[in-house]
Structure 1
Amino acid sequence: MVQVIGAGFGRTGTASLKRALELLGFGPCHHMSEVLKQPQTTVGWTAALNGDRTALPPLLEGYKATVDFPGCLLWREMTELYPDAKVVLSVRDPKKWYDSARATILSTEPREMPQDIATLLRPFSEAMAARGFRRDLSEADTIEVFNRHNESVQAGVDPRKLLVYEVSQGWAPLCEFLDAEVPDTPFPRGNDSASFRENVNRLLKDGIDDFV
C-alpha cells in the first residue's frame, strides 16, 4: 500500500529522495528507474496516463512510496486511490531545475536502446507529453509547466498531508513530516546530470541493478 506520494517532477532530487524514503522504511519506492528496468510496465503506465485509473493498483502493488515520473503526473489520481497517503512535493529553483532537466530528462539527444524497448517507450513518452511533460517547449514555457504543476499540487492537497520539500533541507523536515526517526547516516546525495546520462544509457542498453 502506497503511504508516500512524491508529486515533484524529476530533477528535483528525486533519486536522493527515493533512497531517503527507503532508509526510513517506505520502501520499495517507485521511481522512473523502475520503469526503465521493467519496460513492459510502460503499457500499464501509458493506460494510466491516458485516463485508466484501474491500471494504477497493479503497477504500484508492493510499493510503499512513489517519486519522480511517471507517478508525479498522476498525483491527483493517487491521492484519491490512497487517501491516507502523505504527499511530498520536491521542489527546486525553477531555472536550476530547467537547466538540469534540459541536460538530462528533457534532452533531445538520441539514445541507444533495443528496438523492442524503443517501441514500448514511444506511446509512453507520448502519454507523458499529453500530461505536460514535453521536450519541444521553450525554456519559459517549460518553466511555466513546472511552476503550474507545483502550484496545482499545493492547491489540491490538504496542507496537513503535504510537505513542500527541497532535498537540501536534509532529514529533519522529512522525518518530522513522516513521523520517523532521523537516521544515523548522512542524507543520500547523488545523480548529477553527468551520472544521470551515463546511468540511463547503461540501463537502456545493458540493464543495471541500481540507479544512482
Structure 2
Amino acid sequence: MGGVPSVPTDPSRTIQVIGAGYSRTGTVSMQMALEKLLDGPVMHGGTALLGREDAYCKKWLEVYEAHAAGDRPRKLKALREATRGFVGICDLPGNNFIEELVELYPDAKVVAVHRDADRWWKSIELIIKNTTPRWLKYYLAPVPGWRHFPKMVEWFTYRGEEILTTEVEGVTDPQSRSPGPDILPADIGKDLLAVHNRWVASFVPPEKFLLMELKDGWEPLCEFLDKPVPDEPFPRANDAAAVEQTAKDIMTKTALVWLGIFATTGAAGYAAFKLWEAYL
C-alpha cells in the first residue's frame, strides 16, 4: 500500500502512539512520520497484512474472532500479541480496536486525521473496488499471507458497521450487509470519517487526543508528542496510484503462482500417464 512492513526486533517496546486516522487519510505517511519521531517500528495494517508472513496475519484474525465471540480477555491477549514490540500503530485493523488499544496502553497518545469528505470517500471507493470481489478469496488462496486478506476485509466491514450502528441513526443490522460499493449510501459514507473521529474522541481523554490534517505538517504532531521538528519535509506516500499499482502487483504475482501450480500439476499428470502407458 505504498509503505514497507515494519517488523519489531525488541518485544519489550510498547505502543506510544495510536494512529486513529481512518484508512485513506494518509496512514502510510503517518506511519513514516511516527517511525521518525519515535525511533522504532510502527505497524501499518495495509502493508503488514499484504507484506508479512502467514503467522502474523493469523494473529489479527484471532483478534476479530475473539471479538465476535464476545471473549474480551482473549481479544485483549491476542491484540497485545499482534502489537508486541511496536511503538505505534496505524490503519486497519488497528483502528477497529482503538478503545481496546487505549485500555492496553493507557499511556499512549491518540492521533486522528481529518480530510475533505468528498475526496476521502472517492478514495475509499477505490479501495472497496479492489478488495471486495467475491472471487478474490479463491484467487489468493495459494499465496501465504495474502490468502487471509479477503477474510480480513470481511472483518473490517463487520466491525466498522458495528461502530456505525451505535453512532449513525438509520444504519442497522451490520450482519445483513456484505462487502461492496453499496455497503453504505453515499450521504452516510461521506460522513463516516467524521463519525469515526467523533467515536474516538468520545473515549480518549482530551489531553491525549489530537485531530490534525496532514497538510499541517510536522508542527502539530511534534508539539503534541513533545518532539523536536525534523529538518526534513513531512512524509507523503500512499496516493491513489499506489493503491492501484499494489492491486495490479498482487494480481500479477498470484497469476504466476497459479501458473506454477497448473504447470506442476500438468507435468505430474503427464508423467503418470507415461508411466501407466509403459506398463500396458
Q: Same fold (TM over 0.5)?
A: yes
Seen in structure 2, the aligned counterparts of structure 1 residues 15 and 119 have a Cα distance that, compared at 3 Å, is: closer
Query: Which whole-Å deviations, capped at 9, do the CAs of 1:101-154 have from their partners, x for residues lacking one?
Result: 112x22257569642345422332221111126532222232233322111111
Structure 1 stretch displaced more, 67-76 or 125-134: 125-134
The yes-or-no answer on 1:23 pairing with 2:70 is no
The yes-or-no answer on 1:49 pairing with 2:77 is no
Q: Where in structure 1 do 4 or more consecutive aligned residues deviate above 3 Å?
A: 108-114, 116-119, 203-207
Q: Is the Cα contact below 8 Å between 1:8 and 1:89 reproduced in 2?
A: yes
Task: State the partner residue of 2:260.
Answer: none
Task: State the partner residue of 1:188.
Answer: 235
Q: Name the structure where helix makes up a greater proportion of residues.
A: 2
Seen in structure 2, the aligned counterparts of structure 1 residues 85 and 114 have a Cα distance that, compared at 3 Å, is: same
Query: What is the SS of the residue equivalent to 2:38?
Result: coil
- Unpaired segments of 5 or more residues in structure 1? 208-212
Seen in structure 2, the aligned counterparts of structure 1 residues 201 and 3 have a Cα distance that, compared at 3 Å, is: farther
Letter of the 1:34 partner, please give it: A
* Distance of 2:110 and 2:117 partners within structure 1: 20
Report how far residue 91 of structure 1 moved.
1.8
Seen in structure 2, the aligned counterparts of structure 1 residues 155 and 63 have a Cα distance that, compared at 3 Å, is: same
- Unpaired segments of 5 or more residues in structure 2? 1-13, 68-74, 162-178, 255-280
Letter of the 2:49 partner, please give it: V
Query: What is the SS of the residue equivalent to 2:128?
Result: coil
Find the partner of 1:93 among 105, 116, 125.
116
Q: Is the Cα contact below 8 Å between 1:31 and 1:66 reproduced in 2?
A: yes
Report how far residue 39 of structure 1 moved.
5.1
The yes-or-no answer on 1:5 pairing with 2:31 is no
Report how far residue 159 of structure 1 moved.
0.6
The yes-or-no answer on 1:132 pairing with 2:160 is yes
The yes-or-no answer on 1:143 pairing with 2:190 is yes
Letter of the 1:166 partner, please give it: E
Answer with 1 or 2: which has the greater Rg. 2
Structure 1 stretch displaced more, 164-173 or 193-202: 193-202
Task: State the partner residue of 2:27.
Answer: 14
Q: Is the Cα contact below 8 Å between 1:39 and 1:121 reproduced in 2?
A: no
* Distance of 2:149 and 2:34 partners within structure 1: 27
* Distance of 2:193 and 2:53 partners within structure 1: 26
Report how far residue 26 of structure 1 moved.
4.5
The yes-or-no answer on 1:199 pairing with 2:246 is yes
Seen in structure 2, the aligned counterparts of structure 1 residues 204 and 3 have a Cα distance that, compared at 3 Å, is: farther
> What is the aligned length?
206
* Distance of 1:38 and 1:7 partners within structure 2: 22
Seen in structure 2, the aligned counterparts of structure 1 residues 26 and 156 have a Cα distance that, compared at 3 Å, is: farther
Q: Is the Cα contact below 8 Å between 2:49 and 2:149 reproduced in 1?
A: no
Q: Is the Cα contact below 8 Å between 1:89 and 1:164 reproduced in 2?
A: yes
Seen in structure 2, the aligned counterparts of structure 1 residues 29 and 2 have a Cα distance that, compared at 3 Å, is: same
Higher relative contact order, chain-length normalized (CA < 8 Å, sep 6+): 1
RMSD: 2.3
TM-score (norm 1): 0.87
Identity over aligned pairs, percent: 35
Find the partner of 1:107 among 129, 138, 155.
129
TM-score (norm 2): 0.67
